[in-house]
Amino acid sequence: MIRLYDFDEVKPEEILNRDIRAEADVEATVDAIIADVRARGDAALIDYAAKFDHAELTSVQVTQQEIDEAFAELEAEDPEFITTLKMAAENIRHFHEQQIHKNFVLTDKPGVVLGQKYTPIQRAGVYVPGGTAAYPSTVLMDVIPAKVAGVRQIVMTTPAGPGGKVNAGILAAAVIAGIDKIFKTGGAQAVAALAYGTESVPAVDKIVGPGNIYVATAKRKVFGKVGIDMIAGPSEILVLADGGCNPAWVAADLLSQAEHDKLATPVLVTDSWDLARAVQAELEVQIPQLPRAAIARASVDTNGKIIVTDDMNKAIEAVNIIAPEHLEICVDDPFAVLNRVENAGSIFLGKNVPEALGDYFAGPNHTLPTSGTARFSSPLGVDDFVKKSSFIYYTREALGQVEQRIANFAEHEGLHAHAKSVTIRFEDEEAGGQRG
């Protein structure tokens, strides 16, 4: 049963303790897998597919025939799902198009041109989980922002199932999102392949996408060789609710994340003890009804919390301490609360906005900062797939006007070659008495 806490009786650091460090055996396993993939390339990926995914492969790339057949099969079996994927893709694309930055140039000082330009990365790698569940939504959420950003090539990895086939929904979503290449590999080995390349898998510039502790650990270890989006921990949801909320709705929303993973964290913060107890009871009603009841039960009993505060001001304080991945604001006037929320990945406003709306359809990204990292990081977006470069142009006359100031600054830092690189450009003029 989910536990109840009085906000005033727990320390802030005890409200939600989330340690995502990998155990030593995970570290050692990931190190060995990365080294093996670097040494043996495709052969290692094929061996790991057999070992971990029970998939017998002769090659790791998904063929165009496999993609076409999967799309046609799904379209025949469930055409409405294909339509839904296309509608969701359009919503995601439209939202992320608003994130595109414009280059800028400053010319307000004579002889000086300053500016900033945005350049998409050349090649992105998208990791799509395929273990306990397959997530076509992750394909749309991670590929479409890269397409909007203008990435030249997008490579996807996802594990094959028994029989060597990739989930048809994932392949259909990849077609709709516009993926370039797909490879049948998962886990730490997929991250290693994307970072270092194999005979088939091209090395990329950045790896994005969620995964288990082995994937997260591998991403951390290859960071520096490639960029990564984030080190994602288990999924989390925080429902901020007043006493007027429907406890059945709140319980259902908490379970929408609890069913993801035994390590997922469902949290309710409320100013109502009556609602707290009603949700506690409702969870016991709903959990047995779920196909993934065992997972949800472990999540709720181990990581779930209901935190009760004296008033909504303290409830908002608790939210900002926790910095949740998903935040539902289930109050009568959610917009009055919105600007007081400082730390959250994605925010769902109102009693009619379940977190699943954002997971699949609305448009904002569902690849979000977890484990309290919403204090300093953001959802996946177009910014993750572009670099910004500043540029500077000075005429000779403009440089001459600040020559001595730059040289003086450099001398104060003891960097005499810095100073010389400026003053040497004017030595001939000074020797000839041409400068006053």
Helices vs strands, H then E, count in the chain = 18, 14
Q: Kindly name the residue from 66, 326, 328, 355 that is annotated as catalytic.
A: 326
**What are φ and ψ of residue 220, in 5° steps?**
-65, -40
User: Cα–Cα distance between 322 and 337 in angstroms, integer?
Assistant: 16
User: Cα–Cα distance between 67 and 409 in angstroms, integer?
Assistant: 60
Quickly count: other Cβ atoms within 10 Å of residue 99's Cβ: 15
Is 325 labeled as catalytic in the residue annotation? yes
- In contact, 240 and 270? CB cutoff 8 Å: yes
User: 430 CB contacts (<8 Å, ≥6 apart)?
Assistant: none
Burial of 315 (0-12, 13-18, 19+ CB in 10 A): buried
Is 101 labeled as catalytic in the residue annotation? no
User: 268 CB contacts (<8 Å, ≥6 apart)?
Assistant: 238, 239, 241, 250, 254, 275, 276, 279, 305, 306, 307
Q: Kindly name the residue from 325, 328, 355, 366 that is annotated as catalytic.
A: 325
User: Cα–Cα distance between 300 and 149 in angstroms, integer?
Assistant: 38
**Look-up: residue for tokens 């080995």?**
189
Q: Which residues are catalytic?
A: 325-326
